[in-house]
A and B are shown apart, each in its own frame.
Chain A
Amino acid sequence: MSALTEPRHYTSELNYLNNGWTLKSWLLTKDHKRIAMLYLISITVFFALGGLFAAAVRLELLTPPGDLMDAETYNKMFTMHGVIMIFFFLIPSVPATLGNFLVPMMVGAKDLAFPRVNLLSWYLYVLGGIFAIYAAVQGGVDTGWTFYTPYSSTYSNTAVIVTAMGAFVAGFSSILTGLNFIVTVHKMRAPGLTWGRLPLFVWAHYATSLIQLLGTPVVAITLVLMMLERGLRIGFFDPALGGDPVLFQHLFWFYSHPAVYIMILPGMGVISEIVTCFSRKHVFGYPFIAGSSLAIAILGFFVWGHHMFVAGQSTYASMVFSLITFFVAAPSAVKVFNWTATMYKGSVSYATPMLYAMGFIGLFTIGGVTGVMLATTALDLHLHDTYFVVAHFHYVMVGGMVMAFMGGLHFWWPKMTGRMYHEIWARISAGLVFIGFNLTFFPQFILGYMGMPRRYHAYPEEFVVLNVMSTAGSSVLGVGYLLPAIYFIYSLYRGEQAPPNPFRAKGLEWETPSPPPTENFLTTPVVTEDAYAYAEKEVKALV
């Protein structure tokens, strides 16, 4: 970081988007911003695909009898929905798009540490995605996204190996992204950018990357063992071969529970950026928000057993896992309280990103608190495998992560594309998403509490009203997601030219033209103040 780098002279017209128009200049790019755009396009495709499977599920559940499709088809629909949404949308959503674009810019670097590895990660993602689509074309898979043995390894007659292979390959793309982020944050920060000055978005991605590095390899090897058992009858989990199916669940959840934090931590980083910008305030309790990201990453590795309270795990193990799960709620709560305290006495404005951020805070809180309810062993016996669980994780994943993704996409869209989107339409769609989401998933809490089990294509008459509400809500939600696709694309052609910093936000990424030049900055930036120095007086008072 000490080298005297000569400023490179760009004209303001030359940026990363118009620096080459050929297909090759995109497919062989090593520019983290272009790779972020490639990811954005591909995860949008998978989001739409996963959404179609969700629509099929909700349509079937519109009426009590299983009339639209038979049970096997329904099993395939919710499995493909889960596999695609988790492995091909939620896990790469924020890190691979916004993170890829912003982490190097926020630390003042010209690119990630390993640009070629970054491109490789996108190709691995695409390869994994091709496996998943091939599995869908082959007739789908019906094991649920968790691939539980022995059903997956012995009894299912569907494309289990192809799908698991897709998840396996996509996992390596996730590992490589995490590795790149950690090295970049450690080694490539701009002069003056100390750890205590890093934006919280970067802290959140750092914590996420740790989980990606430590967790993903374990699920990779677990899926390999499952595939070996299914393909070659080399037994690890099949009792007939001396194995233990619960061992699969242990190994699987050792990754897959931390993975839910891969799916929420980057979203929390987005919210920290948006809330401070639209409250015009220094963030409340910076070290606590930064530290809570690490605490979530670490504690998250010791709670996997709460998925197995009814899987024959010992009572004492369940008690310990239950207790640690209560602990992991604390750092999440720290974040929620600190965002709220940041807004307190701030001059809050309600631009679209802030609407999504406020939606996130409310919905994530509901998702988190119901998670604590599920972590109590007594309640879980009643609620396990009911719609209560489905509602809980959709409040965290959709109400949390997708909200944060949408908020972040609106916040940084002008930076990424150099164009402004239509603010009124954006606010309308944010409202539709919020209403549609709650209408879809709140009834599911009640359904689950009343005892409706998940993963059935038919249900008794008395559940019909709430299920109709849920399906109606999902169509509102669908419209809410479709609108941004339209006005974002429209903005590329007809949108107003974006200034370098349309929201008067703090952070290095706003100190360079929109869209940024290929090497991000015209001169290497030097950082002289804390992140979020929105109220100059307050910062000076602290110094």
Chain B
Amino acid sequence: MSDAHVGTLEHTHDEEHVAHQFDNAQQQYESGNLGMWLFLLTEVMFFGGMFGAYAVYRTWYPDAFEIASRTTNIPLGAMNTLVLIVSSLTMALGVQSAQLGKRKRLAWMIALTMFFGLVFLGVKAAEYSEKWHHQHVPGLNWNWTEGEGGREVQILFCLYFAMTGMHAMHMVVGVGIMTWLLITALKGRYSPAYYNPVEISGLYWHFVDIVWIFLFPLLYLI
């Protein structure tokens, strides 16, 4: 966005990143933040559709849902929860590093966040393959042998795969964003005067974590 400069203003370091449609760095900063918050609002509604469906079916089939959630792998889920919480910490430390101008620490924090994101995805893949092995994948590989109510139990697994799958796709996007952040950070693009991309990417990362914080108890614990 640095292809145009603002009028004949002095080129202080932060003004150099101001896109032509903005009057100054402050306006650009506020617009970027508001834009990301609004985007996260649409994400809440996007996941909200599935949470709504979950609420309906859970009310209808409480017993089947209890049986189904017993087959989920709680240790792996708990570990993933921990991994994501730690990744949120490293992300927050990354934003702080950018604000303080500690470029080396910023790059390390982004790399760590990315690493934890990949660990999460790896564990998720292991869980999926376990489900496949037990024939608990509706539509593709489904064979319920653990008692009554297979039809209703199947609905929970449908929701499980749709919700965690959609979440995992958001994680993949997040890892992609982190890659881009890492490259630009190593080029020395961020400074205390210009760190908006780090901050709004952080907002996205935290949001994806929070979705998981809701998914874990709903799908594994209760």
Contacts and interface: CB of A to CB of B under 8 A. Distances in A.
A187 B38 CA distance: 13
B21 A109 contact: yes
A2 B158 contact: no
Contacts of A232: 139-140
Contacts of A8: 7
B42 A241 contact: no
A228 B39 contact: no
B155 A182 contact: no
Contact of B9 (A3, A109, A220): A3
B162 interface: yes
Contacts of B112: none
Contacts of B31: 113-114, 183, 186-188
B30 A217 contact: no
A242 B155 contact: yes
B53 A187 contact: no
A513 to B, nearest CB: 19
B35 A519 contact: no
Contact of A225 (B19, B23, B53, B152): B53
Given A222-B49, A247-B56, A111 B21 contact: yes
A215 B46 CA distance: 9
A192 interface: no
A525 to B, nearest CB: 13
B42 A217 contact: yes
B154 A241 contact: yes
Contacts of A214: 41-42, 45
A297 to B, nearest CB: 14
B128 to A, nearest CB: 14
B20 interface: yes
Contact of A221 (B1, B24, B46): B46
B157 to A, nearest CB: 8
Contacts of B8: 6
B53 A179 contact: no
B20 A519 contact: yes
A380 interface: no
Nearest to A232: B139
Contacts of A228: 139, 158, 162
Contact of A186 (B34, B41, B49, B151): B34
A136 interface: no
Contacts of A242: 57, 61, 151-152, 154-155
B45 to A, nearest CB: 4
A29 to B, nearest CB: 13
B158 A6 contact: no
Contacts of A109: 21
B132 interface: no
A299 interface: no
A110 B154 CA distance: 54
Nearest to B56: A247
B63 interface: no
B23 A5 contact: yes
Q: Summarize A's interface: helix, strand, loop or mixed.
A: helix
Contacts of A115: 19, 21
B197 interface: no
Interface residues on A, range: 35 or more
A464 interface: no
Contact of A183 (B35, B45, B52): B35
B21 A112 contact: yes
Given A114-B35, A213-B41, A221-B50, A2 B24 contact: yes
Contacts of A504: none
A215 B45 contact: yes
Contact of A179 (B35, B52, B60): B35
A385 to B, nearest CB: 25
Interface string B2-42: 00001111000000000111111001001100110011011
B138 interface: yes
A2 B30 CA distance: 14
B21 A218 contact: no
B130 interface: no
Interface string A155-194: 0000000000000000000010001101100111000000
A244 interface: yes
Contacts of A234: 138-139, 158, 161-162
A76 B29 CA distance: 49
Contacts of A117: 35
B6 A3 contact: yes
B138 A251 contact: no
Interface in A208-249: 213-218, 220-222, 224-225, 228, 232-236, 241-244, 247
Nearest to B159: A236
Contacts of B140: 232-233
A233 B139 contact: yes
A428 interface: no
A311 interface: no
Contacts of A114: 31, 35
Given A187-B34, A235-B138, A235-B154, A179 B21 contact: no
A179 B9 CA distance: 29
Contact of B7 (A6, A113, A175): A6
Contacts of B6: 3, 5
B180 interface: no
A110 B20 contact: yes
Contacts of B42: 175, 179, 213-214, 216-217
Contacts of A224: 162, 166
A190 to B, nearest CB: 10
B26 to A, nearest CB: 8
Given A3-B6, A5-B23, A113-B35, A244 B56 contact: yes
Nearest to B52: A251
A205 B24 CA distance: 25
A177 B46 CA distance: 17
The 8 closest A-B pairs by CB, nearest first: A217-B46, A111-B21, A221-B49, A233-B139, A6-B7, A217-B45, A3-B23, A232-B139
21 contacts: A1-B23, A2-B24, A3-B6, A5-B7, A114-B31, A117-B35, A182-B34, A183-B34, A186-B34, A188-B27, A218-B48, A218-B49, A221-B166, A225-B162, A228-B162, A232-B139, A236-B155, A236-B162, A242-B154, A243-B155, A247-B56
Interface of B: 1, 6-9, 19-24, 27, 30-31, 34-35, 38-39, 41-43, 45-50, 52-53, 56-57, 60-61, 138-140, 151-152, 154-155, 158-159, 161-162, 166
Given A8-B7, A213-B45, 15 more contacts: A2-B23, A4-B7, A6-B9, A114-B31, A183-B38, A214-B45, A217-B46, A225-B50, A234-B138, A234-B139, A234-B158, A236-B155, A236-B158, A242-B151, A251-B49
